[in-house]
Amino acid sequence: MANSFSTGFWANVSRIILRNRILILIILAAATVFLAMQWKNMRFTFTEANLLPDKHPVNIEYNKFLEIFGEEGNLIVLAVKDSSLFTTKKFNLWNKLSKQLNAFPEVDLVISTDNLQTLAKDTEKEEFKLEPFFLEPPTSSKEIEALKTKLFEKLPFYEGLLFNKETQTIRIAVYLDKDIVNTSVRKDFIFNDFEPLVKEFEEESGLDLRVSGMPYIRTLNSQNIVDEIGVFITAALLITSLIFFFFFRSFRATFISMVVVIIGVMWAFGILGLLHYEITVLTALIPPLIIVIGIPNCIFFINKYQQEIRKHGNQAKSLQRVISKIGNATLMTNVTTAAGFATFIVTESKLLKEFGIVASINILVIFILSLLIIPIVYSFMALPKRKHLKHLNKRWIEAFVNWMEKTVKNYRISVYVVSIVLLIACIIGIYQIKISGSLIEDMPKKAAFFEDIRFFEEEFDGIMPLEIMVDTKRRNGVMRLPTLRRMQDVEDLIRETPELSDPISVVNLVKYSKQAYYNGNPNYFQLPNNQENNFILSYARKSSSNANLLSSFVDSTGQTARITTFMKDIGTEKMERIEESLWNKINKVLPPDRYDVTMTGKAFLFTKGTKYLVRNLVISLALAILLISLFMAYMFRSFKMIIISLIPNLLPLLITAGMMGFIGIPIKPSTILVFSIAFGISVDDTIHFLAKYRQELTESNWKIKRSVYAALRETGVSMFYTSIVLFFGFSVFMISSFGGTVALGGLVSATLLFAMLANLILLPSLLLSLEKSIANKAVLKKPNINILEKE
């Protein structure tokens, strides 16, 4: 009954499409115009990818930190490592740059030699006061040398923040207005004001100015994503159209296919705008993805049309058969591909959820566009000429099919041995895979800003903030000397950790207060003892300058303090070791019954997010396998057929995972996507092959060998064509400057190539070897869906 419904349904669909051609084209044109109007709602992301769900404990702690201290990723740093900076002209240009930066409304605060404030003791008023580092711009090298000595030798409070004493690298710290950090204003400021000023300084001074900091990196990185979308779309269109033309040798067929996928891309952008989703490093992949996945649909439809024309030359009959016979099979394959992407929706990560929703919708959309546009456009055109059908008789394709048939017929044992050897090698490789939760690992390695990141890691131990928040559970508890000493113990461990920078906290400020109390003697840059504490605190309480400095490190109630350090770009494993070491120390010196301590910050959040993502994507892959297994069960109604169909699709995934282990590609947000995407696409070949095999079985009265070879010959060419298009289509992503996108493209391409060979060699071999156990009508019952209708 289901089969007769399916047959009748597709016959009706073909009638409706071919009888309402003009109306359908008008509806498609109107929908395209409507979706093009939604492009204006597309937004580019101005925040880091938050991989954790909103209600995750780590996210809640981070938001609590933001409520107390505000946005922590608002620091841009500029540095120069050149002794010639300490000459009159260049030093004054450096200070002029600081003034210019401070004048921008987007800038909250600039700390540099130009406006540096030193803490001093006012004995008359018995308070601390802030004095400028210098009163008048220096006019001689002698004055500059004196300032340099004062900075490097007398002001340990600013070491690590403004200078590296060993290498004499000096920097400017620019704190952006926290309200604009996650908005488009940040982008406008960086490109229109900040960068021209940096270039102007470099030209005037002849110095190499290094720039970094999370707002700067994020802005340039986002721009790279935007720039690459156009490159990807152009490259995907170019490579798929060239391959398509190489196979079909027809400008007309190539042009029709390009029209279909270009409309698909326009719809993809429109759907992004309609849903008001941001363009992230993942959603930026969707338009080229639609081209790569859309072209195989076109191959199936056009190939079938040309085969029908060659058979009987009747255009109306050919178009009706294209829709009724290929429509069902293509729908099934697109549904399984969409299911692979749709599993990301269950991950609870906003980034992946949006990617899963938009990708799965657009895969079904490109199927509908192919189904409607190709038959309608061909119906207005003349019949294909004989030269356009020549590709159906290509000798090299025939040779490829003969090789597959010969391998399956004569070398099945060799096929199994190779498969088992590969499986063992993969398992060894899988055990070598590492997990990476680095914020900057996937960023363009050749970009100037990436070199600057490495420079700041070398000179100042990193630019990614890591925050430790200490809640003393009592008002003004932070300024108690025992608490400060406990915090200092934690800071000492941070200083001993080479991957972390020297920490900045209220402890430094109290040390600086003691130094100021002893007339600026750097030997007294230390915490006061109990006796000194009373005198120093009495000075500090009267000082408004101290209160201003204090607000950066302690909340308004004096109950909660922050310790800020910056970390290098380290992997998840190293970060976890450091975290464990810090917690051991924290729990010892700041016992949980008296202090609430939380570790947070953008880099920390990303590391935790990666771990969460890996766990969730393993679940989503398992869900994809389950969904597609259920789909196979519904189609073929045979448990043995499910197992047989999964083997050639799971083996390529294992081979890819093994390759990742051997090559050293870590599991990270970009590479973990490979498995669900590749599985969803590769299972299409299995469905095509098994559907044809099932059809041949019934027609040949259950002759297994004959059915396997017939299915191999019939589906081998289309599967080869589509696999080659997909292989080169996904390879397009390898031109990206983002490491994650390169890995995604290369790994999906490799997986799909393995999957094609597995489906064309391993799957038929399994069917022939297990013919006795599956070649009976009880095992292969009448399917629920006839994917391929009888001729």
pLDDT score at 263: 93
Going from the C-alpha of 631 to that of each of 336, 437, 637, 673, the distances in angstroms are 8, 35, 10, 22
Instruction: Judge whether residue 678 has pLDDT over 90.
Output: no
What number is the average pLDDT over the span 185-200?
A: 90
What number is the average pLDDT over the span 397-410?
A: 82
What number is the average pLDDT over the span 114-134?
A: 81
Q: Which residue has the tokens 């970390």?
A: 567
Task: Tell me the sheet residues that pair with 600.
Answer: 467
Among the residue ranges 476-485, 721-730, 778-787, the one predicted with the least confidence is 778-787
Find out whether 565 and 502 touch, Cβ atoms under 8 Å.
yes
Please choose, from the candidates 556, 542, 516, the residue with its C-alpha nearest in 3D space to the C-alpha of residue 69. Answer: 556
Please choose, from the candidates 513, 550, 522, the residue with its C-alpha nearest in 3D space to the C-alpha of residue 165. Answer: 522
Average pLDDT, the chain: 82
The pLDDT tens digits for 337-350 are 888 788 888 777 77
Q: Which ranges of 162-250 does DSSP label H, i.e. alpha helix? A: 184-188, 195-205, 214-248
Rounded-to-integer distance, Cα 727 and Cα 240, Å: 10
Residue 567 backbone dihedrals phi, psi, to 5 degrees = -115, 150
pLDDT score at 774: 58
The pLDDT tens digits for 224-263 are 877 887 888 888 888 888 888 887 777 888 888 889 999 9
- 619: Cα within 13 Å, side-chain hemisphere: 12
403: tokens are 């090789």
Instruction: Judge whether residue 32 has pLDDT over 90.
Output: yes
616: tokens are 């969730």
> Please, what is the angle between helix 602-636 and helix 350-379, to 10°?
50
pLDDT score at 420: 92
b (16+ CB within 10 A) / e for 654-674: bbbbbbbbeeebbbbbbbbbb
Helix (H, G, I), strand (E, B) or coil at 670: coil
Please choose, from the candidates 333, 404, 396, 401, the residue with its C-alpha nearest in 3D space to the C-alpha of residue 364. Answer: 333
pLDDT category at 778 given cuts 50, 70, 90 is very low
What number is the average pLDDT over the span 569-590?
A: 84
pLDDT score at 394: 63
pLDDT category at 385 given cuts 50, 70, 90 is low
CB within 8 Å of 235: residues ≥ 6 apart: 288, 732, 735
Number of other CB atoms surrounding residue 771 within 10 Å: 16
Instruction: Judge whether residue 689 has pLDDT over 50.
Output: yes
Rounded-to-integer distance, Cα 264 and Cα 663, Å: 35
Among the residue ranges 206-220, 467-481, 665-679, the one predicted with the least confidence is 665-679
Amino acid at 91: F
Among the residue ranges 115-124, 225-234, 294-303, 775-784, the one predicted with the least confidence is 775-784
Going from the C-alpha of 121 to that of each of 55, 113, 512, 528, 628, the distances in angstroms are 48, 21, 11, 15, 75
The pLDDT tens digits for 12-23 are 888 888 888 899
Above pLDDT 70, what percent of the chain?
92
Rounded-to-integer distance, Cα 410 and Cα 456, Å: 62
Helix (H, G, I), strand (E, B) or coil at 734: helix
Find out whether 102 and 632 touch, Cβ atoms under 8 Å.
no
Find out whether 453 and 683 touch, Cβ atoms under 8 Å.
no
What number is the average pLDDT over the span 737-753?
A: 84
pLDDT score at 210: 92
Going from the C-alpha of 560 to that of each of 62, 470, 506, 512, 589, the distances in angstroms are 14, 6, 11, 20, 16
pLDDT score at 1: 45
Q: Which residue has the tokens 């549904």?
A: 335
Rounded-to-integer distance, Cα 788 and Cα 748, Å: 28
Q: What is the DSSP letter of 665?
A: P
Above pLDDT 90, what percent of the chain?
10
Residue 142: burial class (beta carbons within 10 Å; 0-12, 13-18, 19+): exposed
pLDDT score at 128: 78
Q: How is 335-365 classified by DSSP, letter by letter?
A: HHHHHHHHGGGGG--HHHHHHHHHHHHHHHH
> Bigger pLDDT: 174 or 435?
174
What HEC string does 62-122 produce? Answer: HHHHHHHHCCCCCEEEEEECCHHHHCHHHHHHHHHHHHHHHCCCCEEEEECCCCCEEEEEE
Among the residue ranges 105-114, 538-547, 580-589, the one predicted with the least confidence is 538-547
Rounded-to-integer distance, Cα 17 and Cα 23, Å: 9
Containing 132, the helix (H) or strand (E) segment is strand 127-132
Rounded-to-integer distance, Cα 250 and Cα 178, Å: 57
Instruction: Judge whether residue 81 has pLDDT over 80.
Output: yes
Please choose, from the candidates 653, 222, 260, 744, the residue with its C-alpha nearest in 3D space to the C-alpha of residue 429. Answer: 653
